[in-house]
Structure 1
Amino acid sequence: MSLLILALVAFAYAAPPIVPEVPEEEEAQAKPLYLAGCKDGVNNVIKVADIKDPKLAIHAKDVVIHTYFDDGKPSCYYGRAYVSLPGKLKIVKGSVVVDKEVKDLKKAVAKLTVKKNSWFIGTVCQDGVSQKYQVPANVCSHNIYPEIGDDFIKMLSTPGTYNFEEITKKAKVSNVISLPSISSSLKTFVVNGDWQAQIALVLGKQKIANVKVPSNGDWVYVY
């Protein structure tokens, strides 16, 4: 679940090294407009899609995320999900399916492909490789251990189907992801907009898991 944070961190690091500060009055005008409804569980929904490949050992199934502001209120933008920085993501549904035993999972690396729907920013990470000189290599490619924890590693290494309720209890992993705040200048000039991400787990030279956000090939709004 923490892999989703990596994608959001990559969004933030897409900034130029020097970004002009935004005066408070301009910043207020730059904040998104809330036109259309924002009903919890209806408008603030992001679905995570598994990349269907029989060679993969680990799959995500029916994973659904709800988006919230830092104060816990549902976050939407023009009637669709809005990832707020700071804010919260809550995994409300879904399972992880491990088809076969995975050895040495602690050595796995998360490799990101992250894109913004913008000609100026465009692709930030491609298959774990930074496409922008401002983006550190460890943002696009990141070791999953020890951050992921021993209990979760053991679960993901063992064949079976695990729903997120079971994961939170047995692997001691929270289904709520707190997202960090970033500077107003980064939010306004760089992060503000539509994004999509694909996250692959790679062990050695072999992919063992692969998911994309959002699931429909569209974009998710981040600010």
Structure 2
Amino acid sequence: MSLLIIALVAFAYAAPPIAPEVPEEEEAVAKPLNLGGCKDGVNNVIKVADINDPNLAIHAKDVVIHTYFNDGTPSCYWGRAYVSLPGKLKIVKGSVVVDKEVKDLKKAVAKMTVRKNSWFIGTVCYDGVSQKYQVPGNVCSRNIYPDIGDDFLKMLSTPGTYNFEEITKKAKVSNVISLPSVSSSLKTFVVNGDWQGQIALVLGKQKIAHVKVPSNGDWVYVY
């Protein structure tokens, strides 16, 4: 999965750096809560918003993500989307619009801003800079290449509109993102809660793309 698409769900990548991954069998002991009232495509929906800046070269349009537990069943928290760790995120619709040619995209850097709705945790990353000593700097800011892949890099450098079905076929990119396990104690005391995030792609000193999750400025539950 390319870093750009992963960045569309930046909020889901805020907590794992604080909470180290654990073996799958250890995490399997913890059963998901029975939250009920979770209809696929209705309650487990996250919308990604493009920051509407005409100076940006790359835009996300109508991107919608569905959340699932690791076994593929829809994941919700009191009737709203629930990002489960481990779990899966599926991009079900949307497109990437490239308004103008982007040269040297290989040099672009993804800079994240991620915040938890908590006075104790608060902002984890701000404009690509770590705000917590537990979170290494390369979590909040990283080069998009080579993770993005040459085929997708070419698409994002060339003007046009590319839907995710086309991207998955031509750039050989999956629309399903698998999220890691985290230790149960840190999952309870650190990860558990509401998160929101933004991701900006920066080339040199110029911002070329910028999105936020969720789209309405509200929060997404992560556990």
Same fold, TM-score > 0.5, yes or no = yes
Residue correspondences, number: 223
Deviation per residue, 1:121-180 (Å, 9 max, x gap):
000000000001111000000111000100000000000000000000001100000111
Deviation per residue, 1:80-103 (Å, 9 max, x gap):
000001100000000000000000
| Offset of residue 59 of structure 1 | 0.1
- Does the CA contact (< 8 Å) of 1:33 and 1:78 recur in 2? no
| Offset of residue 5 of structure 1 | 8.0
Query: In 2 relative to 1, CA 143–22 (structure 1 residues): closer, same or farther, beyond 3 Å?
Result: closer
Query: In 2 relative to 1, CA 206–151 (structure 1 residues): closer, same or farther, beyond 3 Å?
Result: same
What is the alpha-carbon distance in structure 2 between the residues aligned to residue 59 and residue 52 of structure 1? 8
What is the alpha-carbon distance in structure 2 between the residues aligned to residue 172 and residue 2 of structure 1? 10
- Does the CA contact (< 8 Å) of 1:32 and 1:77 recur in 2? no
Query: In 2 relative to 1, CA 170–134 (structure 1 residues): closer, same or farther, beyond 3 Å?
Result: same
Q: Percent identity?
A: 91
What is the alpha-carbon distance in structure 2 between the residues aligned to residue 59 and residue 120 of structure 1? 33
What is the alpha-carbon distance in structure 2 between the residues aligned to residue 23 and residue 149 of structure 1? 28
Query: In 2 relative to 1, CA 217–13 (structure 1 residues): closer, same or farther, beyond 3 Å?
Result: closer
What is the alpha-carbon distance in structure 2 between the residues aligned to residue 48 and residue 18 of structure 1? 24
| Offset of residue 16 of structure 1 | 12
Query: In 2 relative to 1, CA 155–4 (structure 1 residues): closer, same or farther, beyond 3 Å?
Result: closer
SS at match of 2:7: helix
Query: In 2 relative to 1, CA 6–137 (structure 1 residues): closer, same or farther, beyond 3 Å?
Result: farther
- Does the CA contact (< 8 Å) of 2:4 and 2:144 recur in 1? no
Q: Which moved more, 1:12-21 or 1:143-152?
A: 12-21
- Does the CA contact (< 8 Å) of 2:44 and 2:82 recur in 1? yes
Unaligned 5+ residue runs, structure 2?
A: none
What is the alpha-carbon distance in structure 2 between the residues aligned to residue 45 and residue 16 of structure 1? 21
Q: What's the TM-score once normalised by structure 1's chain length? A: 0.89
Deviation per residue, 1:14-70 (Å, 9 max, x gap):
779999999999999997754451000000000000000000000000000000000
SS at match of 2:212: strand
- Does the CA contact (< 8 Å) of 2:2 and 2:149 recur in 1? no
Q: Which moved more, 1:130-139 or 1:10-19?
A: 10-19
What is the alpha-carbon distance in structure 2 between the residues aligned to residue 22 and residue 152 of structure 1? 31
Unaligned 5+ residue runs, structure 1?
A: none
